Amino acid sequence: MKSPKTDIAVLICIPILATLVTFIFRTNLFISIILFFAIPSAYLASRNPGIFKKSFTFAFLLSIPLSLCIDALAAVNGSWVVPTSVFPFKFFGVATVEVYLYGLLWVLYAVLFYEHFFDKGRKGDRISPHIKSLRYLSAALVLYVCMAFVIDRDLLYIPFFYLVSGICLVIIPLALFLYRYPVFIRRYIILGIYFFFVLFLFEIAAIYAGQWIFPGPDFIGFINLFGFQFPAEELIIWMVAATAALLSYYEFFADDRLA
């Protein structure tokens, strides 16, 4: 039986190898998503099969509706755009399939990691009844985007969309959750360090391979590290805070321990 130290070593090596493969072969975004997120997710699911069903259910319910809303709005506002896709169509004519796959596998990987190392998930864990509220919230966001595309596309344009959506969906919910449940702060810091490492490597690999761009004008500033330039929001909201925020959603809406 493998020890947690072995698991950690494997999960550190995977994103490093994924970065090297992306740099050497200039892989497309679909392949990089598989390397960075699908492979480690499959590893954790094989190590603890009992946590997969609950983790995947939450990942699907959160990421797909939220991506239909947020990634479409991001593309319209130029917050982040995938310029090329291996798939011949885009959702709403603007968002590629890869961004939805990315969202699904990122959430799945984060929840599997959290359950395996911190929450000690096991087979038979039930989903909290709070998940219904998440469904209603997700449906409302998707309905807004669909209606805006049909009625008036000007409703889709939101100044400083990355900053605004990050504050509303990431920073505020995370702060409120940790204020109410400070016991999670330590584990979120530890987990956040690891996922910062993963998302930072994925960021520089994706920028190097031209997998996504940030063409919009509404950013609070840009950061240049090792010759790779990206918005400050990408660092603060996405790499630093987003994974902890999604796990706050998970704890509140899906994990039965807070039900």
Q: Do 94 and 72 meet the contact criterion of CB atoms below 8 Å apart?
A: yes
Higher pLDDT: 130 or 251? It is 251
pLDDT at 20 over 70: yes
pLDDT at 82 over 70: yes
Q: Which of 24, 20, 58 is nearest to 36 (CA)?
A: 20
Q: Report which listed range, 29-33, 48-52, 120-124, 126-130, is most confident.
A: 29-33
pLDDT band with cut points at 50, 70 and 90 for residue 239: very high
Domain boundaries, the chain: 4-258
pLDDT band with cut points at 50, 70 and 90 for residue 157: very high
pLDDT at 1 over 80: no
Q: Report which listed range, 33-37, 121-125, 249-253, is most confident.
A: 33-37
What pLDDT, in 10s, does the model give residues 166-224? 999 999 999 999 999 999 999 999 999 999 999 999 999 999 999 999 999 999 999 99
pLDDT at 17 over 90: yes
What pLDDT, in 10s, does the model give residues 102-146? 999 999 999 999 999 987 655 556 676 777 787 788 788 788 888
Round to whole Å and give the CA distance between 119 and 110.
Answer: 12
Residues near 134 by beta carbon (within 8 Å), at least 6 away in sequence: 61, 62, 249, 253, 254
Task: Extract the tokens encoding 167.
Answer: 């504050």
Burial class (CB in 10 A: 0-12, 13-18, 19+), 221: exposed
Task: Compute the mean pLDDT over every residue in the chain, rounded to the nearest whole number.
Answer: 91
What is the pLDDT, as a whole number, of residue 90? Answer: 86
